[in-house]
Amino acid sequence: MTGFYEGATLHVRSYDSMQEGRSVIDGDVEFYLGLARRTGGKVLEVGIGTGRVGVRLAQAGMDVTGLDLSGDMLAIAAQRAAAAGCGDRVTLVQGDMREFWLGDTGSRLVIVPFRAVQVLLTADDQRRALESFRRNLGPGGTLALHLFDPNLRFLQGGGPVERMAGIDALTGRRVEAVMQSTDFDYLAQVRHDHWRYRALNADGTSAEEQALTLSIRWTWRWELHHLLELAGFTVEAEYSDFHGAPPAYGAEQVVVAQVTA
């Protein structure tokens, strides 16, 4: 099995089209834009990926620095920014969120959209990442995180078969993905989702297939609070979506925190 983001996988090549219409990210760009306008200055997006959020912020006039470990996703983000006419406001950096220093970028806001921090598979790695965010923010900075709120029903397996569909940006072929199985490591709070991706020819036959694994760590709400406190943050606000709904079990964790004075 190959990881979702290890090279130019079918997941990476069809990522943007597969995320369209996802309810869990509905309104997130507008939410982050509101925070950026409130905090002023530049925006640092950790896990910028293909630029779905960061390029939209740059189009709205923000200066954005984007960090990601995947060079293939950053290449797509660069193309996206150039096509949108805002490449001069987007700086892309390949690096590890657990340990990075970009110098004084002037960023007053760090955003980590669409559960990106959950690809870190230990609490220690998550704490190290939070400490890196704080170092790159400086005093008075703001951090916005998005995670899912763990639902015990989905941590037992045996649920409905998950499917996704999109378009391969490289070839234009339709891509179908089916989650075939899931393994759980309950001590580590990690789930490994095993997917089969297929790129299809026009006649429906398979042109390319890949077995890909997405490994993510679930983080309990109060565990996250403690990790933030250890890293030098104070929680300012929490929501269960990007429209201001209060925290709710099994929904999303959208957390806004401030660097502790």
Instruction: Answer yes or no: do 112 and 183 share one domain.
Output: no
Whether pTM > 0.85 for this model: the answer is yes
User: With 90 as the cut, is the pLDDT of residue 104 above it?
Assistant: no
Has residue 1 been placed in a domain? no
Going by pLDDT thresholds of 50, 70 and 90, the confidence category of residue 159 is low
Has residue 42 been placed in a domain? yes
One-letter amino acid at 204 equals: G
Instruction: Answer yes or no: do 182 and 94 share one domain.
Output: no
User: With 90 as the cut, is the pLDDT of residue 62 above it?
Assistant: yes
Give me the domain span that covers residue 86. Answer: 7-148+219-259
Number of separate helices (H) and strands (E) present in the chain: 6, 12
Has residue 2 been placed in a domain? no
Eight-state DSSP code of residue 180: E
Structure tokens at 46: 């950790």
Contact by Cβ (8 Å): 132, 97: yes
Instruction: Answer yes or no: do 246 and 196 share one domain.
Output: no
CA 196 to chain centre: 21
Which of 54, 50, 41, 62 has its CA nearest to residue 12? 50
Which of 123, 97, 95 has its CA nearest to residue 110? 97
Q: Is 159 or 63 the better-scoring residue by pLDDT?
A: 63
Residue 84's CATH number: 3.40.50.150
Question: How many distinct structural domains can be found in the chain?
Answer: 2
Instruction: Answer yes or no: do 65 and 180 share one domain.
Output: no
Residue 191's CATH number: 2.20.25
Instruction: Answer yes or no: do 213 and 223 share one domain.
Output: no
Instruction: Answer yes or no: do 156 and 144 share one domain.
Output: no
Instruction: Answer yes or no: do 79 and 207 share one domain.
Output: no
Instruction: Answer yes or no: do 198 and 229 share one domain.
Output: no
Instruction: Answer yes or no: do 71 and 156 share one domain.
Output: no
Q: Is 128 or 16 the better-scoring residue by pLDDT?
A: 128
Strands 64-68 and 90-94: parallel
Phi and psi at residue 67, in whole multiples of 5°? -110, 135
Instruction: Answer yes or no: do 159 and 144 share one domain.
Output: no
Give the pLDDT score at 209.
96
Quick: pLDDT tens for 201-237: 999 999 999 999 999 999 999 999 999 999 999 999 9
Instruction: Answer yes or no: do 210 and 176 share one domain.
Output: yes
